[in-house]
Amino acid sequence: MYQKSILPNGIRIVTEELPHFHSVAVGFWLMVGSRDERQEEQGLSHFLEHMAFKGTIRRDALTIAREADQLGGTVNAFTTKENTCFHARVLAEHLPRIIDLLSDLVLNPLYRAEDLERERQVILEEIAAQDDNPEDLVQVQFARHFWKDNPFGWSILGEVEAVSRFRREDLLAYRRTAYRPERLVVAAAGRLTHQELVDLVGPTLENFTNGTPARPRVPVDTHPGVYVLPRDLEQVHVCLGTEGLAADDGRRFTATVLNIILGGNMSSRLVQVVREQLGLAYSIYSFLGFFSDTGILEVCAGVNPKNLPALLEAIRGELRRMKAEPVTSLELKDAQDYLKGSIYLHAEDVEQRMLRLAKNEIHFGRYIPLEEVIEGLLKVTPEDIQTLARELFQGGNWGLALLGPLNGQGSVLLDF
C-alpha cells in the first residue's frame, strides 16, 4: 500500500508497505547533483556525499561504519547528475536506528578540515581509477563534448584541479545553496507502516530549513560531432549517443522497448549482428537515461582498431534499418516479455521498490503501479517504434566519442 505525506517545510515522505518482506529499504533523496554545480564547483555534490560519512555532530567515521555493520544490512550513498541519495536496507526491526543514522548523515555532517584532506585523496584516487577504465572514460568524454560547457556534461566526480583546491568553506557554501527541504524526498519500502516512518523522521526533519534562494538549473544544449581521445590501448572504445526523452515524456514506453530491441539485451539487433554474426566485438550494448528535462540514448562497444570502420558501418546499418521498416511482431513481443519479466523480478527486491518509489515521486509526483507501467509497454506498436526512431536517429543529432589508438576514424558514422 502506497502513502504520501508532506511536512510543513516541504519534505515529502513516501512509503510502500510490504508486510510480506522481512526487511525495509530507506532512501533520503536530495534533488541535487553535478548539473546543479557552477564551473568552479565541479565535483562538490559528490564531495558532500563522501564527507557525510567522515563524521557528524554525534558520530565519528568509525562509529558510523561500526553502527552500519552492526545492523547487518547495507548503508551507502551515491551521486548522479540530478540526485544525491543516502540509502540503506536493514531488517524491519532496525528501522528506528537506520532512520536516526541516515538523518544524522544528511543533516549533521561536520566537514572537518582534517577529514576533508583525507577524503580529497580518496576522491582523487576515484578519479584516477575512472581515467584508467576506458569503458567509463569514453562515456565521460562523450558527455563532456556532447553537452560541452553545460553542467549536464560535467563529470560527477569533478576535475582534479577543482577537487584539489576545495576548502571547507566551499562545501558549506554549496550545501547552503543545494540542500533544501523542498528538494528532499524520503522513500521507504518494505515491512513498515507509513505513520511509523512519519513519526520517526518528522521530529528531526521538520527543523530542516534553508533560507538561501534556490538556484535554477541551466537548460541543456547539445553539440553533435566526433570527439577523439588518443590513448595507447589494445581496443578502440566507442560511445555513440543522441539526446533522448525526458522522464515524463509520454513516449518513454516506446523508447524503452526500442532500446531493448536495438541493444538492450543478448537477443537485441546490435548484439546479434555485431557480436554473433560479424564477430566484431565482445561487448556491445545500448542504454537509455531519463532525466528531468532531457534524456540520452547511447551505444557503447570496444573493438580492435582495424575493425572500427566495420563496427561503425554495422551500427549505422541497424539504426537505418530501424528507421526504414517497422520491427517485427516477434521482436516486439520478445522485448515486451523481457521487460515485463524484469519489472516483476525487480519488484521482489525491496531496494528496487524503494528506488521506483522515489523516482516516481521526483519525476511524476505520484505513485505509478507496476501494472500501469506494464500496460504502457504492452501498448507500444511497431509503428510507434519506427516513428520514434525516425525522430531520434538523425545523423546531425549524434555525438561519437572514440578512445584508443586512433588515426581520425569515425566520421563516416554520422551520416545516417
Cell numbers describing residue 248? 515524463
Cell numbers describing residue 342? 524484469
Q: Which of 41, 49, 298, 351 is catalytic?
A: 49
Active site residue 159: no
Angle at 393 between CA 388 and CA 399, to 5 degrees: 135
Cell numbers describing residue 174? 554549496
Q: Which of 104, 111, 102 is nearest to 172 (CA)?
A: 111
What's the residue count for the chain?
416
Q: Which of 96, 73, 99 is nearest to 86 (CA)?
A: 99
Which DSSP state fits 214?
P
User: Are 14 and 134 within 8 A, CB to CB?
Assistant: no
Q: How far apart are CA 150 and CA 144, in angstroms?
A: 9
User: Are 367 and 2 within 8 A, CB to CB?
Assistant: yes
**What dihedral do alpha carbons 378, 379, 383, 384 form, nearest 10°?**
-100
Which DSSP state fits 284?
E
Q: How far is CA 33 from CA 83, 124, 175, 312, 414, in A?
A: 5, 18, 11, 33, 31
Active site residues: 49
